[in-house]
Amino acid sequence: MRVLTLNGGSSSVKFGVYAVGNTVTEVSTGEVERADAGGAFFDQIGDVRPDAIGHRIVHGGIDLFAPVVIDDGVLGRLKRATAFAPLHAPAALAMIATAQAHYPDVPQVACFDTGFHEDLPDLAAVLPIPKALHAEGVRRYGFHGLSCESILAQLGHTPPDQLVIAHLGNGASVTAVRAGHSVDTSMGLTPSGGVVMGTRSGDIDPGVLLYLLRERGLDATAVEDLIYRRSGLLGVSGVSADLRVLHASDIADAALAIRIFCRSVAKQIAAMLAVLGGADLIVFTGGIGEHDAAVRTAICGDLAFAGPIVVRTLPSQEGAQIARHVGRLLG
């Protein structure tokens, strides 16, 4: 089976072609900026006639977790779930529509970032809010699940019993994994929670949002724009959301933004050490986690109190994981 995977992140769209049988083999991959991911995007893929297409979907709402063939009913449920991932969901729906127009007879599969965290224990999943809201689906969902699954696939059939995965990119999260299962994770109801990110605030005092609503007169749309698109590394530095730019800058706030990011990640990893009772292995992945040695050194320096822990860097192979899910579902 030849599977085309489409992975829309918050800043770019990655695509890949995989041969899926007993194993998953990468044929080709590429990446384009979000602004270029329209209809012409498929010209860059070339003359590929896939047997199936797999889409990374950040949030499937309250009841979509397992990979599923996309039909009109699924599309309706995805549209209702856009409130949970306003930075990602509309673009993913647009990509599905474009792919359906380009490959009208090819089955398309939605693969969810929340799927890996579906069975979080109640200690992690239940938010400290009125119980009635939890019954309506307001809970911790967790994200970067496809990335976490790809790390486990690379570690093999016997992953460490106590594993922490730090997926650090423009979006960032930290997940505690016990015996191959997610038991806690830094992101919550939406991908805006947890650690400081490129343009997202991460965890923030709810009183700040109330202050903005009451005293500054911001409405919900303006608050959403602030916490998703104007905060994080960009907000603190006033320079950029890109750590490569911040490393090269001589502006004091750029250095401060890097320090805040590193401390934020270290604090979340420390929290996951408490959840797991220690760690056999910490894996750094994602663009920053895999390639920014200075950031990894700073984070690990903050964790020196925990004693020696094995640290590895592994690539986030979300495309291969999507292809694997598509093969299992359709194969």
- The one-character DSSP state at 277 is T
C-alpha closest to that of 90 among 40, 42, 37 = 37
Whether 113 sits among the annotated catalytic residues: the reply is yes
> How many whole angstroms separate alpha carbon 137 and alpha carbon 61?
8
Apex 201 CA angle, 197 and 207, nearest 5: 160
Q: Strand 2-8 relative to strand 52-57: parallel, antiparallel, unpaired?
A: parallel
Tokens found for residue 316: 């986030």
- Per the CB < 8 A criterion, the answer to whether 240 and 204 are in contact is no
Q: Which of 72, 113, 250, 292 is catalytic?
A: 113
Alpha helices in the chain (DSSP H): 41-45, 72-80, 89-102, 122-125, 131-135, 145-155, 206-214, 220-229, 232-237, 243-248, 252-276, 286-291, 293-302, 318-330
What separation in angstroms does the CA of 44 have from each of 8, 40, 102, 140, 301?
Answer: 15, 7, 13, 37, 42
- The one-character DSSP state at 218 is -
Burial of 274 (0-12, 13-18, 19+ CB in 10 A): exposed
Tokens found for residue 41: 């995007």
Which residues have a catalytic role annotated? 113
